[in-house]
Amino acid sequence: MQTVGIVFIAVAAAIALWLGYSRLGKSKVQGLEAEYRRRLRLSEKEATEVIERQLASLKEKFPDRSYEWYLEKMIFDLDRDRL
């Protein structure tokens, strides 16, 4: 009976950690999207079009990267080009 309790606690802890990490990832992506949109200084519609074009271009050049990586690259490129 005690073993079942320990296994239950271990499983519950693993689920809690997984949920925490998955939420962190989403909030980071949302923050990166918001930051890119802010730096573009365009309307919401125009910014969405730019993001879609940039993503398509980057996915061709750098396949198999994470969405987060693409957003970070887009922000880096935008900053570099404005210097």
pLDDT tens, residue by residue, 14-59: 665 555 555 555 788 899 999 999 999 999 899 999 999 999 999 9
Name the residue range of residue 43's domain: 2-82
Per residue in 49-80, pLDDT tens? 999 999 999 999 999 999 999 999 999 999 99
Look up residue 82 and give its two tokens: 């404005």
Spatial neighbors of 20 by CB under 8 A, at least 6 apart, are: none
Number of domains in the chain: 1
Q: What is the structure's pLDDT at 1?
A: 57
Cα dihedral sign for 24, 30, 36, 38?
negative
Do residues 65 and 45 touch, judged by C-beta distance below 8 A? no
φ and ψ at 42, to 5 degrees?
-120, 170
φ and ψ at 41, to 5 degrees?
55, 45
Chain centre to alpha carbon of residue 30: 6
